[in-house]
């Protein structure tokens, strides 16, 4: 067993049915910046979770995945529950309870021990799945989950399949634009298996710049750090895999602004037609679910042939950059 | 032998101030310093400039305004005396701002020079009139730029400073048939090669500061293109030597040239290394090295920043933009005539990386001049 035989076998998504245009967001006071700038940067609308909690979305995406993949539920040996937002790792949103203030503003001490991952396991009826939560990596949390799933599947003989799930719902009433990007709600689930028939993970890399943790205070530095760090990480990841950008058939991005991908594409010498940006306008940035969602849509659209290489990249606001090379 | 008498303009500027300090150490000169009244008296301004220096030359302060017309704002009797005794002129006054409207840049750099030229025409003992210019009169040219080349070759200029200086050169060139004039084209002056001391912080120093602050994500150019920077002591030694000894008329490049230049990639690497070596706490911030990008990409980034309306990032990109477009028009400044004139006195530019780290350290130690 080698790392390169582990892959993302199946993907499923959940996007809330309510679609809000930039105009609607503006009218509802859900933008702090300019609507025109967001439009100019390539955004049109986002999906807003209304009644759904982040846990509801996680269950919906994972249930869909289990049904579509046909895997026996007993074979799932682990759930890696990736919570990008701190609020996603608690049950306050999970229970659909909207409560202002700190996510640690809980009713009793017992609430500190209530986890959405546990609920997910029991709701999905996955009795053999150990649950591990992954957070503190922002939008890169699903990359961390996939990376760990890959490593665990290789090192633990009895572990056949890992379910990776990300689901994030932005706090209600908060502006949806963050660092000139438009945030959507949504969830994704991925099944990581050994001897996968598709999407084998060839290389993973992550950079953490801990000094950027104080994201509200140093937003300008974070924005400035984004491009050079992204370019350096992508270059390093490709080099580690013994590849060049020309070897990559398609870049599977996170759904930050189209403009930023125009710029980053130039920095990494990747032409625009090799970056899958179809979902940026209509879906927006679903925190941690973008890349899996885009990988699925690009696959469904027949844009990737068997054996072709893809590069997935994301940025976990404000201090994590993650990159992955996947072979379809 | 007649004692040399130098009229120096622009002494309150970066290069002019260094020239004054250098000249003041000579016991064989009279230095007439033309200075404007600005808040304090001209005498006070010059005294402040020389407060740490031993003065051996005869230094006279002349209250003047180069922009005030051919009389330089000096009363007639004094003007005639000055013209009678002046053997050398070093005209370093002008504006080095990259962001002035062209009319204002012309007023500072062309009109002022025209007035000094008129002054020179009435100096019977004039041996040399040196007009300080810039190698960037070359504008958007690329490749080699020689001392016998003039102007932008129709390719345009990056900023009003370059354009106004090129116009100034045109005027001086026309007068070279009648007068013993030289044009001394300076490269980008960074600081003292030994101490790193910076007389006036310019856009390069500010760019280093932006990089230090993590606000310089990209720089236009090519990592392999040469960047021409020189130390202030080399500039002073070279300029004064050329004024006294160089064949005239002539044009001289006081620049690093091909031999002493380093590449943009090397300069940026050295900046990162020097900042990290001198500020261990900065290293913890993991500031990423700026990406060197083509001009189109940089333009797209600048446009995007402008659209966001983010004032901090907008100021940062605008600051880099004022000089960085030169980086996208790389050139090598040929220094043959200057090298020949300077060689016998052992004056030559230091390799850029031999002094650049000291300048960066000086910027850090003084917090870009706020802790002088």
Same domain, A214 and A184: no
Strands annotated E in B204-249: 218-220, 226-227, 229-231
Same domain, B153 and B26: yes
More confident residue, A317 or A113: A317
Overall number of domains in chain B: 2
Q: Which domain holds residue A94?
A: 3-193
Same domain, A215 and A254: yes
Q: What is the pLDDT, as a whole number, of residue A94?
A: 42
**Interchain pair A209, B215: CB under 8 A:** no
B14 has a pLDDT exceeding 90: no
Decide if B145 contacts B135 (C-beta within 8 A). Answer: yes
More confident residue, A97 or B148: B148
Same domain, A103 and A205: no
Decide which of A193, A211, A235 is a domain's last residue.
A193
Percent of chain B's residues with pLDDT above 70: 99
Same domain, A215 and A120: no
Which residue in A270, A276, A306 sits closest to A291, CA to CA? A276
Average model confidence (pLDDT) for chain B?
Answer: 94
Please check whether residue B366 lies inside any domain of the structure: no
* Exposure string for B113-147, b = 16+ CB within 10 A, e = fewer: bbbbbebbeebeebebbbbbbbbbbbbbbeeebeb
Q: How far is CA B174 from CA A10, A90, B88, B136, B150, in A?
A: 78, 79, 19, 20, 12
Same domain, A33 and A167: yes
A50-95 pLDDT, tens per residue?
988 889 999 999 999 999 999 999 999 999 999 888 777 776 544 4
**Pseudo-torsion of CA B61, B63, B66, B72, nearest 10°?**
-110
- Alpha helix segments (H runs only) across chain A: 22-27, 35-40, 54-69, 91-94, 116-124, 141-155, 219-240, 258-267, 280-283, 290-300
Same domain, A149 and A209: no
Identify the residue among A224, A227, A318 best suited for mutation to test binding to B, counting B beta carbons within 10 A and taking the highest.
A224
B179-217 pLDDT, tens per residue?
999 999 999 999 999 999 998 898 899 999 999 999 999
Same domain, A171 and A22: yes
Same domain, A45 and A179: yes
Please check whether residue B363 lies inside any domain of the structure: no
Decide if B20 contacts B11 (C-beta within 8 A). Answer: yes
Same domain, B214 and B106: no
ipTM for this prediction: 0.90
Average model confidence (pLDDT) for chain A?
Answer: 92
Decide which of A166, A193, A220 is a domain's last residue.
A193
Q: Which domain holds residue B134?
A: 4-195+229-261+331-350
Q: Could you tell me the pTM of the whole model?
A: 0.90
- How does residue A2 score in pLDDT terms, banded at 50, 70 and 90? low
Same domain, A88 and A41: yes
The DSSP-derived string for B128-177 is EEEEEEEGGGGTT--EEE-TT--S-TTS--SSHHHHHHHHHHHHHHHHTT
Q: Which residues of B touch A180 (CB under 8 A)?
A: 308
Q: What is the pLDDT, as a whole number, of residue A215?
A: 76
Same domain, B44 and B129: yes
CATH number where B338 lies:
3.40.50.720
Closest chain B residue to A181, measured at CA: B308
Same domain, A95 and A144: yes
State the first-to-last Cα distance of chain B, in angstroms, to the nearest integer: 42
Please count the residues of chain A: 328
Query: Which among A220, A225, A267 has the least Cβ separation from residue B297?
Result: A267
Decide which of A175, A193, A211 is a domain's last residue.
A193
**Interchain pair B304, A259: CB under 8 A:** yes
DSSP B221: S
Please check whether residue B371 lies inside any domain of the structure: no
Same domain, A24 and A167: yes
Please check whether residue B165 lies inside any domain of the structure: yes
β partners of residue B29: B4
Q: How far is B198 from chain A (nearest CA, A)?
A: 27
**Interchain pair A41, B312: CB under 8 A:** no
Q: What is the pLDDT, as a whole number, of residue A96?
A: 46
Mean pLDDT computed over B290-299: 94
**Pseudo-torsion of CA A226, A229, B220, A252, nearest 10°?**
-70
Mean pLDDT computed over A233-256: 97
B122 has a pLDDT exceeding 90: yes
Record the tokens describing residue B350, joined without a space: 């230091």
Overall number of domains in chain A: 2
CATH number where A318 lies:
3.40.47.10
Same domain, B346 and B314: no
More confident residue, A198 or A84: A198
Q: What is the pLDDT, as a whole number, of residue A100?
A: 44
A1 has a pLDDT exceeding 60: no
Same domain, A206 and A185: no
Decide if A325 contacts A310 (C-beta within 8 A). Answer: yes
Decide if A320 contacts A208 (C-beta within 8 A). Answer: yes
Query: Which among A34, A223, A263 has the least Cβ separation from residue B309?
Result: A34
Same domain, B93 and B82: yes
- How does residue A98 score in pLDDT terms, banded at 50, 70 and 90? very low
């Amino acid at each position: 067993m080698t790392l390169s035989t582990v892959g993302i076998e199946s993907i499923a998504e959940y996007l809330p049915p309510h679609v809000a245009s930039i105009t609607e967001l503006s009218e509802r006071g859900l933008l702090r910046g300019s609507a025109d700038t967001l439009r100019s940067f390539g955004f049109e609308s986002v999906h807003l979770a209304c009644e759904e909690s982040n846990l509801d979305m996680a269950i919906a995406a994972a249930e869909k995945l289990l049904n579509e993949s046909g895997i026996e539920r007993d074979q799932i040996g682990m759930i890696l529950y990736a919570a990008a937002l701190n609020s996603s790792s608690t049950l306050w949103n999970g229970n659909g309870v909207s409560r202002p203030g700190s996510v640690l503003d809980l009713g009793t001490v017992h609430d500190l021990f209530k986890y959405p991952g546990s609920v997910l396991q029991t709701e999905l009826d996955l009795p053999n799945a150990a649950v591990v939560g992954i957070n503190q990596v922002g939008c890169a949390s699903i990359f961390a989950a996939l990376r760990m799933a890959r490593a665990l599947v290789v090192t633990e003989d009895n572990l056949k399949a890992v379910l990776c799930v990300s689901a994030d719902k932005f706090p209600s009433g908060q502006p949806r634009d963050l660092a000139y990007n438009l945030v959507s709600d949504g969830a994704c689930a991925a099944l990581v298996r050994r001897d996968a028939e598709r999407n084998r993970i060839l290389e993973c890399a992550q950079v953490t710049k801990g000094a950027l943790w104080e994201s509200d205070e140093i937003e300008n530095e974070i924005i400035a750090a984004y491009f050079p760090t992204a370019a350096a990480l992508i270059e390093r990841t490709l080099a580690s895999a013994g590849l060049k950008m020309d070897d990559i058939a398609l870049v599977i991005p996170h759904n930050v602004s189209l403009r930023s991908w125009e710029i980053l594409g130039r920095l990494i010498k990747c032409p625009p037609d090799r970056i899958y940006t179809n979902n940026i306008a209509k879906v927006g940035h679903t925190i941690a679910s973008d890349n899996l969602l885009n990988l699925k849509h690009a696959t469904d659209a027949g844009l990737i042939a068997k054996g072709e290489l893809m590069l997935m990249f994301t940025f976990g606001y404000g201090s994590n950059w993650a990159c992955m090379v996947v072979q379809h | 032998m007649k004692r040399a008498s130098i009229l120096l303009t622009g002494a309150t500027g970066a290069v002019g101030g260094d020239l004054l300090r250098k000249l003041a150490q000579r016991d064989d000169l009279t230095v007439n310093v033309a200075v404007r009244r600005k808040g304090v008296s001209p005498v006070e301004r010059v005294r402040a400039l020389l407060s740490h220096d031993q003065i051996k030359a005869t230094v006279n302060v002349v209250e003047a305004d180069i922009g005030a017309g051919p009389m330089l704002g000096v009363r007639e009797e004094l003007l005639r005396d000055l013209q009678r005794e002046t053997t050398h002129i070093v005209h370093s006054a002008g504006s080095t701002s990259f962001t002035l409207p062209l009319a204002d840049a012309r007023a500072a750099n062309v009109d002022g020079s025209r007035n000094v030229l008129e002054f020179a025409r009435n100096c019977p003992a004039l041996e040399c009139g040196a007009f300080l210019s810039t190698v960037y009169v070359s504008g958007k040219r690329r490749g080699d730029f020689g001392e016998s080349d003039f102007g932008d070759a129709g390719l345009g200029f990056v900023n009003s400073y370059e354009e106004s200086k090129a116009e100034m050169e045109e005027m001086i060139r026309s007068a070279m048939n009648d007068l013993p004039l030289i044009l001394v084209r300076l490269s980008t002056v960074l600081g003292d090669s030994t101490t790193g001391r910076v007389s006036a912080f310019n856009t390069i120093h500010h760019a280093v500061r932006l990089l230090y602050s993590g606000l310089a994500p990209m720089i236009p150019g090519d990592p392999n293109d040469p960047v021409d920077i020189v130390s202030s002591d080399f500039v002073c030694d070279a300029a004064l030597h050329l004024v006294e000894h160089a064949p005239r008329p002539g044009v001289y490049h006081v620049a690093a040239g091909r031999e002493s230049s380093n590449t943009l990639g090397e300069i940026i690497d050295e900046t990162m290394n020097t900042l990290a070596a001198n500020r261990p706490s900065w290293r913890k911030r993991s500031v990423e090295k700026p990406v060197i990008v083509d001009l189109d990409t940089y333009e797209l980034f600048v446009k995007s920043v402008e659209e966001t309306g983010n004032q901090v990032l907008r100021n940062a990109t605008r600051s880099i933009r004022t000089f960085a477009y030169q980086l996208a028009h790389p050139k090598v400044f040929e220094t043959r005539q200057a090298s020949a004139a300077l060689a016998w006195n052992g004056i030559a530019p230091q390799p850029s990386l031999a002094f650049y780290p000291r300048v960066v350290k000086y910027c850090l130690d003084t917090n870009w001049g706020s802790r002088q």
